[in-house]
């Protein structure tokens, strides 16, 4: 039986553990409604505040329309996001003392996403914050990947040492020297049009002729690459 079917057929079996013992006969008496409900509650299931809060937060994320996948017993929530350049996902699990402490987080952004958890935070606010990070990062990837000949975008990934940067690799064909080189940029994904934090080249001689002070943050990434690596006719005629 799937998790969804279990929720429909017997939701308490998913969210709480049964308490052993027979149903109290006194609850079937003609006592007050409050007393009967209290006895019924105690006889059936016991839910900790943390489990109840987790259940409510999970429902809020699902109701918000996110692409979600629920793990067994709802102890794992995976939320998927699709943007222009790539797909991203975040997996959330309840910590031992949730919600006093943040849920356990595992995401495709790795160290590039750090959960900001306080007394007002929820799983829904965490997913919203993660989506904002993904949107910024994805915009940077699109900015850096929209290049034309003599550049060819190869791949990108989160920088392994600097989480606020993405590593962008592309091939460059230098028409003058007829050399094909691999360029690697460390780009700050919050400001992709800024001068890259580092630029590496498989043909170091190509970088020796580059004047990095020509980088203009008001131009697109592609336009700046042209300024740095492509010689124009008026430049070649300069003494």
pLDDT, position 16: 54
* Per-residue pLDDT tens over the stretch 116-175: 999 999 999 999 999 999 999 999 999 999 999 999 999 999 999 999 999 999 999 887
In the predicted model, what is the mean pLDDT of residues 16-42?
50
State what percent of residues in the chain have pLDDT above 70.
Answer: 76
pTM of structure? 0.76
| Full DSSP string of the chain | --HHHHHHH-HHHHHSEEPPSPPPGGGGSS--HHHHHHHHHHHHEE--HHHHHHHHHHHHHHHTT-EEEE-GGG--EEEEEE-SS-EEEEEEE--TTTTTSPPEEEETTGGG------TT--HHHHHHHHHHHHHHHHHHHHHHH---TTEEEEEEEE-SS-TTEEEEEEEEEETTTTEEEEEEEEEETTSTTSPPSEEEESSHHHHHT--GGG--TTS-HHHHHHHHH---HHHHT--
Mean pLDDT of 176-185: 87
pLDDT at 73: 74
- Per-residue pLDDT band at 5 (split at 50, 70, 90): low
Which tops the pLDDT comparison, 111 or 17? 111
């Amino acid at each position: 039986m799937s998790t969804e079917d279990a929720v429909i057929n017997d939701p308490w079996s998913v969210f709480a553990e049964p308490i052993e013992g027979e149903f109290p006969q006194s609850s079937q008496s003609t006592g007050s409604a409050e007393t009967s409900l209290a006895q019924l509650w105690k006889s059936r299931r016991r839910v900790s505040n943390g489990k109840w809060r987790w259940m409510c937060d999970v429902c809020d994320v699902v109701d918000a329309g996110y692409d979600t996948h629920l793990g067994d017993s709802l102890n794992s929530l995976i939320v998927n996001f699709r943007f222009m350049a790539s797909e991203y996902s975040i997996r959330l699990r309840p910590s031992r003392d949730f919600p006093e402490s943040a849920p356990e987080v595992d995401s495709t952004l790795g160290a590039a996403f750090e959960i900001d958890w306080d007394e007002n935070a929820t799983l829904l606010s965490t997913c919203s914050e993660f989506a904002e990070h993904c949107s910024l990062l994805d915009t940077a990837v699109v900015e850096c990947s929209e290049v034309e000949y003599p550049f060819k975008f190869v791949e990108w990934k989160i920088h392994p040492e600097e989480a606020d940067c993405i590593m962008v690799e592309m091939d460059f064909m230098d028409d003058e020297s007829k050399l094909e080189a691999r360029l690697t940029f460390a780009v700050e994904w919050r400001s992709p049009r800024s001068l890259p934090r580092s630029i590496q080249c498989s043909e170091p001689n190509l970088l020796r002729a580059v004047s990095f002070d020509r980088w203009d943050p008001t131009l697109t990434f592609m336009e700046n690459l042209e300024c740095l690596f492509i010689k124009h006719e008026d430049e070649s005629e300069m003494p």
